[in-house]
Structure 1
Amino acid sequence: MKHKIIIVILIILVVGCERPTPPPDGPIIEQSIIDELLEKTIAIDSFQFFYNITGLNEKRYYYMLGPDIKVAFPTIKHLEDGTPYDTVYMEREKKIAYTYCSKKSCPEKDPYAEPINFSLYNIDTPREKVFILNKAELVREELYKERYYVEVINFTNTDGDNGLMWVQSYYGVPLKLEYLDKEGNKKTLVYENISWDSVRDINVAIPYNTTLIGYNGKNVSVYGKLSKPWLVQTAS
């Protein structure tokens, strides 16, 4: 009996003397915010919005579905040779882009799509703004434009930007950024009238019987997305 009492006393002393586990090092709260945003946005496969950033003097409406992008302009633009266009179709994995003028803007123009520099209209998707975060801290919560409940986050990213990001609370989608870039320039980026998981193949598909100039070294007729064309044949 005495031995049992001694053993119990020793167990109590050992347990009582155990040190509490110290908290792990690092920005726990910041990392959890980034993880939460990644978890929310990873399942979103498409976006559409007006793109507005400091220094941009034109309206652009983007449809983004996987690697395929369609950029629509409210007014006609022109290539250096004078060729008109009001739409650009892009494929991000192949890094190709083609201009096109819709029948609405160019009823008399032949259905040709001309190549254009891919980097001119390539931008980060809202989801990619989450992917490149390396630091995030919640500043406040508020109602954005009387429509979205948002979390305002103080952030830095791998591009060297730092500032504030307005993130839709439920889906984790960035709606607006105010920041200093790595050169110290103050910028505002807004994804206006944004919606997600609303873009379909038809929204980014090149119109039927359009001839792409110089596609894989040939002039071809393509219907569908540039990533997975439904019809490719040598144009006559």
Structure 2
Amino acid sequence: MTTVRIPEDWPATEEQARAVQDDLRERVILDEPGPPPGTGQVTGVDVAYDDERDVVAAAAVVLDASSLDVVAEATAVGRVSFPYVPGLLAFREIPTVLAALDALPCPPGLVVCDGYGLAHPRRFGLASHLGVLTGLPTIGVAKNPFTFTYGDPATPRGSTSALLAGSEEVGRALRTRDGVKPVFVSVGHRVTLANACAHTLALTPEYRLPETTRRADALCRTALRETYSA
């Protein structure tokens, strides 16, 4: 397990963080298709917090995209690097998530975040932020629609509807199980929205949430518990 220090130049105020978002948002690439679903490797990242101790644990779990078998995994634990501010949550997580990715023994391939990319008030959620900093293709798969609106997709698995900010499509509601509440997919970096949805379906053969998210969630919670006994 890697122990992470907050970078010296990390934003300390909301104003500084928004300025970083404004700068990095210009570097998001939206016109690349991304890797074909079901090929190569795909990595899930997730975090768990202990707010009382001001600690965050991150996990990165690499799966074979075809079999969904675990190829590699890594964790990192550090201090929470920014206060809780809606729309700026990535600044609480990025240093520790980057450390977990850096600790992997193999290339991560596509990175799937438990959260948002373009489906963000400033069009720059964790998936976009992480993609720009690493250069990796990234998508966000969230459990809820945040502040956006959508029509209920049709009942069958694979059905979608637009996730909207006014008239702007910022992602899609995607039904990953027949008749089960959809997940909310958005582009992070270097992937099209159609491909992001296809990847999400490939990662959900049994459950509502992607296997990448399920495994990374379990691993980061374990890493957080282990900090108590370390």
Q: Kindly indicate whether structure 1 or structure 2 has the higher relative contact order, using CA contacts under 8 Å at least 6 residues apart.
A: 2
TM-score if structure 2 supplies the norm length? Answer: 0.27
> Which protein shows a greater Rg?
1
Q: Which has the higher strand share?
A: 1
Which is richer in helix? 2
TM-score by length of 1: 0.27
